[in-house]
Structures are given as structure tokens and as C-alpha cells.
Structure 1
Amino acid sequence: MPAKKLTRFERARLIGARALQLSMGAKPLVKVSDSIDPIDIATMELKQNKIPLDINRG
């Protein structure tokens, strides 16, 4: 069964949760410049499918 497309709410939740982790000191999983916003990093991780979070639609 192929993965479903993320809704805008799931996308916002994933980016927000990952941005919080990054702002608390988590290491980025993508290559970034020195001064970049955690939300931008989280968005880059999501676009590259490297975000370490899952969606439970149960």
C-alpha cells in the first residue's frame, strides 16, 4: 500500500515538532549554512525525506 500524501495539517505538525527539536539542540540531518532558521531546516529535511518523525493515522 503506497504512502498517502501528507495533509497540510500533518505537514505543519511535522515541521513544527522538528523545528522545536532543532532549536533545542538536535543535529540537522541535512547540510545547512551557519545561520538558518530551524523551521527552514525542518522544511528542508521534510522535502528530502530525512525527517526522523512518523505519522500515526490510527
Structure 2
Amino acid sequence: MSTQRYNRYEKARILGARALQVSYGAPVLIDTDQTEPILVAAEEYDAGVLPFTVRRESN
């Protein structure tokens, strides 16, 4: 991820989407001892390796 800050709703959506991907067998992007998909997603988020983009609507 870049230096962009995400609000709590965006973070929850990113983590939920990534946890779902991991639970369906997507490759894990970091080395971790975690087995729960949500914890794996949280570690990936903290490491900044998630390839997600958040598009915000501007009025």
C-alpha cells in the first residue's frame, strides 16, 4: 500500500475481502504462523503488501 490512510470502514472492507480470498485458497503474501484467514489478512495489511485500491467518490 502507499501512504494513503484508510478509515475504519475501508480497512474493515479490505480485511474482510482479503480474508475471504485466503479462506478460498488464495496464496498468502507474507510468511506467517497464523492459520485464521482474518489474522493472516491483518498481518498482510500491517505489512503493506495487499494489492487493493480504494476509490473514493468526490462530489
Instruction: Note the residue ranges of structure 1 that are not aligned, 5 or more in a row.
Output: none
TM-score in terms of structure 2 length: 0.84
Greater RCO between the two (CA within 8 Å, min separation 6)?
2
Aligned residues between the structures: 56
Query: What is the percent sequence identity of the aligned residues?
Result: 36
Residue by residue over 1:1-51, the C-alpha shift from the partner in whole angstroms, topping out at 9 and shown as x without a partner, is x84411000000000000000000000001022x61000010011111101
Instruction: Note the residue ranges of structure 2 that are not aligned, 5 or more in a row.
Output: none
What RMSD over aligned residues (CA atoms) do the two structures have, in Å?
1.7
CA distance in 2, matches of 1:39, 1:4: 22
Matches within 5 A, 1:8-47: 8-33=8-33, 36-47=35-46
